[in-house]
Chain A
Amino acid sequence: MLVNLALAIVLLPLSAYFILTVVGDRLPRQGDWLSTGAIFGSFLCALRIFGEMWSSFDPAWVVQKTWAWMDLSTLNVPWKLEMGVRLDNISATMLLMVTLCATLIHLFSTGYMRDHHGKPEDGYRYTSFFSYLSLFTAAMLGLVISDNFFSLFMCWEVMGLCSYLLIGFYRHKPSAANASLKAFMTTRVGDLGLFLGLLAMFAILKSFRFDDVYAGINSGAFSTETIVGVSAAFFIGLGIFIGTVGKSAQFPLQIWLPDAMEGPTPVSALIHAATMVSAGIYLIIRIFPMLEYGGVLPIVAYVGGFTCFFAAILAIKQNDIKKVLAYSTLSQLGYMVLALGVGAYSVGFFHLITHAVFKACLFMASGAVIYAMHHEQDMRHMGGLKKKLPITFACMLITTLAISGVPGFSGFASKDLILGNVMGYAHLHPQHYLLVFFGFATAAMTAFYMFRLIFMTFWGEPHDHHHYDEAHEVSWNMWLPLAILASLSFCVVYTGSITGLGFDKIFGSANEWILKLNPAPMVEGAEGSRLALEEAAHHAHVPTMILSIILAGAGILFSYLVYGSKKISAAKLESLWPRFVQRAIDNLYYFDAFYIKVLIKKIFLPFSDKNAKFDDAVIDRVMVDGWKDATMVGQKASGIFDDMVIDGVMVDGAGGAFPTAIGSSLRHLQNGKVQRYLMVAVVALMLLFLFRGVV
């Protein structure tokens, strides 16, 4: 029953996608109601599943069903791929969050994308937009209900595709087209790691299922094998974590996410803030035992800590309202990764949920502002919108308080727990105190830059009177989602207590459910360190809380002084930064420059060029033409000898010519002749034979 519901959750948006793709333009209102209605149906199903989970309040609650998808087993050797549905506390909660956010964002889009209403022949793509949204939602939900890494990976890739399509939705804009390519290519690097990790996992375990993987970890299946000199568990864990780094835009693959803001704002809200980027976090939660077992967790923690700190610095300097939110997303994702890295995965998951809700609201509110300002995104041209957009302002203020970690709001509860756990971790491992610094510095900066956004946008005098005068509150289908999400940004929704401190319970003790989520099967012996962490975090809780409240308050106050009351000049403040830091920040720490100028232009392209020259000079002229002469005249024995030598060198890969062979293949890859493509594949097969000693 529940399994059928879970399948319905995925199939509803998926069928909406197909219908919209085929006949969407002929439907009334171009079919936006179909897409929205389908995802609302999914939401109802998710609510039912969540209710089931909630009523049997049990950390070990799980519903599973598995089908054989491909069974190539022989009588002696099992070899089969299975697909299945797994509902446990984590996936039920994720389902509810994703369907809720997606429903509201679909509703919001019906307002925001109204300008795109029109005939497809004239270049309007309203229907395409909704069909992409549906496909994306179906993929995300499919990822969440997967019971194995294989279907998870498939959905993961579909999401990557949807991200590409939606970032480049304004395809007439070159910047949007570039941004979509950049996002696709950057995440591809991460997906390669994920793919390698999964392949290694399957090679060792012959299964992708979560249960088998956990059982394999506990039975030590991953400790005996080594891959490229490291233990299999480390290799797999790191590979899968690299997938997360790509998808959740962590350091050093974070460069795509800010550019992804070229997409329409609902897309930014749905994909690049609330759901898709958190799929990476979800993946870490699923593979957590492997990370713990393989010893990848410190890497995870430092990547997360770095990301949250550096992204927060960048957010301070942005003037584009969506860019601020983009960097804040990076920073918050870094928080989650940090929490997972120190071993507090239920806390990381908690932050995932609260963040998704308030970040979706923030993005949509910024979308409402942008819409009201006629697609003006620069905050320096805004100001004083408080009176013009009262509902949007209220929602945005609530969610900003939430993300800043003010007591009584959801962000406080989750962020406070993360900081407490990081502190506890640092107590246990004093060499990792840097992580504590990252965490707290980010907390202060978050409050600062978020209130900077609020003050610049809603406070003060309008800077652009023309747009200001025309601005008016958005229609109901745009503010209603904001209101719903804002009302879910209070602490009481999640912890059942008003302040998030664990007392003043309203619904009784069962309401701290989110911290009692189904714990992933633990590695043997890890129980001790987990209890130690819990203990330490518990002790660190109160000082952490006080410190974080002080920091958030200081950030808000400082922000008020600079941008609200303008007691401190912002320009003067900026001049306090050292020059080189400023320049580094303006250039986004030179990441893009490094990737493009050094990695691509200096390494990949010259390599390929040089090989192309070799190819022209040696392979084509000597070998191919030489062979012709040899056959024509039949006397140039030395020519044949040359051919054989060169051919032998190229094929055998001896004498350092192996890279050249790769290079010439790389060049052939681009010459557009189909037969060369096939030839490359065959040469690869030949090389495989040669290296495996078959021939």
Chain B
Amino acid sequence: MAVSDLFVAFCFLLGGAAAFFTAFHPNILYAAISLIGSLVAVAGLYGALGADFLAAAQLIIYVGGILIVILFAVMMSEDIYKRRFFEGAKKYFLPALAAAITFAGLVKITLSADWSGATKPDFEPTSRAMGWALVGPYALVFQYVVVVLLSGLIGAVIIARPALKMKKIDEDLERLGED
């Protein structure tokens, strides 16, 4: 058994357990913290698959950025120890069933395919190739994503800013809700 196999197995275990807690832990704060485990595990798998650039990006953007934002949101918006947010078992019944069926179906499809002829990942640095791809065949998509990112951020700022106009819309919504 090679070291890489052990590493991958470890990532699977860590990611699976963390994802379980993310889904089922009654306290939203612990769920958010255990999400770190899943994201780190995925980053590790990227590494095992030879995607060094992506592994770094995953760690920096996801673990370093998005997760902080999530934790920030949790702490800003909720009194996190209130009982109100501890989900009851009944709310989990249908989703768990649905997810189980989906999982079973997709696993069955996955295993029924012919996966022979797998290649081995090669461990050359990928950043050069990705750089060329981003300015070559994917240049347009790249620009598009940049525009989407920019407009998304501007939109986020506009939504979050407590401007006068937004208040008016909120009031309108309230009134509509009462009708």
Contacts and interface: CB of A to CB of B under 8 A. Distances in A.
A681 to B, nearest CB: 10
Contact of B101 (A624, A628, A695): A695
B88 A683 contact: no
B59 to A, nearest CB: 29
Given A679-B95, A683-B98, A686-B98, A628 B90 contact: yes
A689 B101 contact: yes
Interface stretch (B13-21, B34-42, B104-112): B104-112
A631 B89 contact: yes
A118 B42 CA distance: 56
B88 A679 contact: no
A631 B108 CA distance: 31
A695 B109 CA distance: 9
Given A679-B98, A682-B98, A695 B90 contact: no
A628 B92 CA distance: 11
A614 B95 CA distance: 21
A689 B98 contact: no
A57 interface: no
A615 to B, nearest CB: 13
A627 interface: yes
Most A Cβ at <10 Å: residue of B95, B105, B109: B105
A686 B102 contact: yes
B95 A686 contact: no
B109 A627 contact: no
Contacts of A694: 105, 108-109
A664 to B, nearest CB: 12
Contacts of B95: 679
Given A685-B102, A686-B98, A686-B102, A627 B93 contact: yes
A239 B60 CA distance: 50
Query: Which secondary structure characterizes the binding site on chain A?
Result: helix
B94 interface: yes
Most A Cβ at <10 Å: residue of B88, B90, B108: B90
B102 A682 contact: yes
B98 A624 contact: no
B105 A689 contact: yes
Interface string A621-633: 0001001100100
Contacts of B99: 682
A689 B88 contact: no
A682 B99 CA distance: 8
Contacts of B90: 624, 627-628, 631
Contacts of A627: 90, 93
A423 to B, nearest CB: 53
Interface of A: 624, 627-628, 631, 647, 679, 682-683, 685-686, 689, 694-695
Given A689-B105, A695-B108, 20 more contacts: A624-B90, A624-B93, A627-B90, A628-B88, A628-B90, A647-B97, A679-B94, A679-B95, A679-B98, A682-B98, A682-B99, A683-B98, A685-B102, A685-B105, A686-B101, A686-B105, A689-B101, A694-B105, A694-B108, A695-B104
21 contacts: A624-B90, A624-B93, A627-B93, A628-B88, A628-B89, A631-B89, A631-B90, A647-B97, A679-B95, A682-B98, A682-B99, A685-B102, A685-B105, A686-B98, A686-B101, A686-B102, A686-B105, A694-B108, A695-B104, A695-B105, A695-B108
Interface of B: 88-90, 93-95, 97-99, 101-102, 104-105, 108-109
| 8 A-B pairs with the lowest CB-CB distances in the bound complex, closest first | A689-B105, A694-B105, A628-B90, A682-B98, A695-B105, A686-B101, A631-B89, A627-B90
